[in-house]
Structure 1
Amino acid sequence: MTEVQSKGFLSRLVHRITTDADDLDAEELENVSAQTGTCKCSNLATGEEVVVSGRLRSVLYTPSERAPALTAELFDGSGSLRLVWLGQRRIPGIEPGRSITVRGRIAKREGEPAVYNPWYELTSG
């Protein structure tokens, strides 16, 4: 139970009124991640196989003669994870604002954690 959840109704109401909307969204995503038992983006280590839940912040197609790729940023409230599908231009349902659970092995892409060609499940959120 988080600190805000353990407080009374008035304290929770004041918290919701005085906290920035982005911070409230991040708290909500972290709570969902904790409830589903998935890994936090802030705790990912290169080489480990993980399951992460969150919301897609951005989706970008990068054309290339070598390896075109569809790249998305997954945010779970604690941090971000890059999802990279090689050879894809578009994947139905992979769009900004969509809730998703992904599974894969953590790699590094430009110094940030990434999962290449992840298994994914679109979720309601």
Structure 2
Amino acid sequence: MATDSESAVEDHQRGLRKFFRRLTASDSELDAEELQRDAQQCGSMPALKCQRGQVVSLKGRLRTVVYTPRTNLPTLEAELFDGSDLVTLVWLGRRHIAGIEPGRAITAKGRIAVRDGRKVLYNPYYELDTPR
């Protein structure tokens, strides 16, 4: 069993490792870590662990939003990044959705599909998170 002084030393070493990690990590790495912490705190599944057919809840930030005009069915597509992986959100028959814009934090729920090797949620239920 660890003594109080051994615990204090371990806590100090953990704090130093965290400090040096923040100094040496890139902004994108720190952002990804923050997104993963936020997703974990709200109980969302990491996108990296999602499998085809699973019903999931994902929390992250929209990286891109693109309207894709197609001859038979227009689509609005957004890339959701949760710090671990990307998932494409696809709304069929939509040209625009208020609040769906790059940089917006969102929670999306639906069944994971795979299209061209990428994870996709079609017509997901979504909640816009309040801006910080």
**TM beyond 0.5:** yes
**1:68 lines up with 2:94 in the alignment:** no
For 1:79 and 1:105, locate their aligned partners in 2 and report how far apart those are by CA, in whole Å.
Answer: 16
SS at match of 1:115: strand
**1:46 lines up with 2:49 in the alignment:** no
Which amino acid letter does the alignment assign opposite residue 7 of structure 1?
R
Q: Spell out, residue by residue over 1:58-105, the C-alpha distance to the aligned partner (whole angstroms, 9 max, x if none).
A: 000000111110000000001010000001111000000000000001
| Aligned counterpart for 2:36 among listed residues 23, 26, 30 | 30
SS at match of 1:22: helix
Q: Which residue of 1 aligns with 2:23?
A: 17
Q: TM-score, normalised by structure 2?
A: 0.86
Deviation for aligned residue 1:14? 2.2
* Displacement over 6 Å in runs of 4+: none
SS at match of 2:126: strand
5+ residue gaps in structure 1?
A: 1-5
Q: Which residue of 1 aligns with 2:127?
A: 121
| Aligned counterpart for 2:64 among listed residues 35, 54, 58 | 58
| Aligned counterpart for 2:88 among listed residues 78, 82, 86 | 82
Q: Which residue of 2 aligns with 1:104?
A: 110
Which amino acid letter does the alignment assign opposite residue 98 of structure 1?
R
5+ residue gaps in structure 2?
A: 1-12
Deviation for aligned residue 1:18? 1.3
Q: TM-score, normalised by structure 1?
A: 0.90
Deviation for aligned residue 1:12? 2.7
**Share of identical aligned residues, percent?**
49
For 1:82 and 1:43, locate their aligned partners in 2 and report how far apart those are by CA, in whole Å.
Answer: 15
RMSD of equivalent CA atoms: 1.3
SS at match of 1:14: helix
Q: Spell out, residue by residue over 1:27-62, the C-alpha distance to the aligned partner (whole angstroms, 9 max, x if none).
A: 000111111110111011111111000000100000
